[in-house]
Amino acid sequence: MKLIIGLGNPEKQYETTFHNMGFLAVGEAADKLGVKFKKKECEASVAEANLGGEKVILARPVTYMNASGRAVKQLMAKYKVAPEDMVVIYDDYDLPKGKIRIRASGSAGTHNGMRSIIGEIGTGTFPRIRIGIRDEDVKIPIINYVLANIRKEDYPLFADACSAAADAAIAFARGEGIERVMSRYNGAE
């Protein structure tokens, strides 16, 4: 059993904001696996896939970013998933826009969604895929930036980044070790 979680905010107004990179990437993973987000459970929108006989749950918490940990904790309990068997995809202001960075574990950094998850489950030892969103040319406070809409000219860059993040998450869910996934996808755009 594997769990792929994409972080974001559930309302339509946030659909194309930088803070919804996780939602966009997990949606891309669902498309690639041919599944749809059909049910709501554990404060999340959920899709189910089967990869080589193993069940994979794809989830988008609907708790809003800053309370993502509630949904993640519920999903882990319901599906009896250990931290090392889930991967969380989210936006990262500390990385240049469009860059992918995968880690086996780590801190929350400045990300409130990750802070919520680590606080709720009590550990930072789970894989994560970060999608860089920082644009050196934009000089506004981070809180305003992450909730800003992606500029149309940047759509292709972020579409490629979300596709690479989805591929990495699927590789992990298929049983590729996180070290191998990191060596294949780190730095991808």
Which residues are documented as binding site? Answer: 14, 64, 66, 112
Binding residues for tRNA, as ranges, are 14, 64, 66, 112
- Active-site choice (4, 8, 19, 63): 19
**Distance (Å, whole) CA 185 – CA 67:** 28
User: Is 111 annotated in the active site?
Assistant: no
3-class SS of residue 183: helix
Residues with Cβ within 8 Å of residue 138, at least 6 apart in sequence: 145
CA distances from 17 to 22, 79, 127, 146 (A): 11, 30, 23, 7
Contact assessment for residue 129 and residue 95, using Cβ atoms and an 8 Å cutoff = no
Contact assessment for residue 161 and residue 100, using Cβ atoms and an 8 Å cutoff = yes
**Which residues are known to be catalytic?**
19
